[in-house]
Amino acid sequence: MSILAGGIGLATVLLLGPLVIPLLYRLKFGQEIRDDGPRAHLKKRGTATMGGIMILAGTALASFLVNGASPENLFLFAVMLGCGLLGFADDYLKIVFRRPLGLRARAKMLGLLIVGAFLAWSAFILQRGTLIAIPFTELKIQVGLFYYLFVVLVLIATANAVNLTDGLDGLAGGLTAIVGIAYVVISLLTGHEAAAVFAAAVAGSCLGFLKFNHYPASVFMGDTGSLALGGALAGLAVLTASELTLVILGGVFVLEVISVVIQVISFQMTGKRVFRMSPLHHHFELSGWPEVRVVSFFWFIGCCLAVLGILSLRGMG
């Protein structure tokens, strides 16, 4: 069933691309490129964005056709859609109202808090329990009501991490596809068949999107896509009780966030930058690596971490 869901997601996005992408160009939903970013990116100015709506559509069609309206699928897609709508609002403000920063930071954080609270409520309704599994061990820690705060933090962190990583053609989509495939395996190993189908739908939709998003991209996913994908991964982590395993599976996303934190702290404390530019993928770019090489390298690391994450499942289930 997971293979079927992945295939439907893939086919849906491939079919939508030739219809949606020209529409985005006609609506002049083009990406703005920051002048302080890598100079090589200036040629991408005007590339259609908000392509994440295709990933959402592919995931919805595939998961609901195969899973039906099961509680797990409803909750997972609701979290993904909630984050996607927040990203859509952010993109819309940037493009239509020419607000470079999109949603105000407080508004975006409030939106993520609301979606995170919904995810925590979903975990309660689905009787997820309040144990946190420790990777590579049999240990599970009982944290009681603090677990629900932890869930909110997982949602916020994951959504922002995927969003930060979406800076090169195919990078975030490819990495999410890799983590999604890993979650198919994890979900099946832990007895969460609905989650496996949903993960396959996400992965298949991302792979379909890469047809149009690989270098040189004809469309970007925008915050619509990156926040939605972050929400999907957070939901899968919570439903399969693998929140800490997600740190391994999504290790590249984690490294991207850490690079930004290090850069900011270093500059504030010493006036010097550790990296040529953050997030980390820009450091490699400015070090002379072609964009395709950076993306391929990060995908490779992502694959290695996905395997490591699956191997860390001892004691889970």
Vertex 186, ends 180 and 191: CA angle to 5°? 125
By three-state DSSP, how is residue 76 classified? helix
Q: Is 145 exposed, middle or buried (0-12, 13-18, 19+ CB in 10 A)?
A: exposed
Across the chain, where does the E strand assignment appear?
131-133, 140-142
Token digits of residue 292: 């395709």
Place of tokens 């006609």: 26
d(CA 141, CA 155): 20
User: According to the annotation, is 90 in a ligand binding site?
Assistant: no
Q: Which amino acid is at 301?
A: I
d(CA 63, CA 249): 22
User: According to the annotation, is 35 in a ligand binding site?
Assistant: no
d(CA 131, CA 146): 10
217: closest CA among 85, 45, 87? 45
Q: Is 138 exposed, middle or buried (0-12, 13-18, 19+ CB in 10 A)?
A: exposed
For 176-224, the three-class secondary structure string (H helix, E strand, C coil) is HHHHHHHHHHHHHHCCCHHHHHHHHHHHHHHHHHHHHHCCCCCECCHHH
By three-state DSSP, how is residue 30 classified? strand
Number of H helices, E strands in the chain: 12, 2
- Which residues are annotated binding-site positions for Mg(2+)? 163, 223
- Which residues are annotated binding-site positions? 163, 223
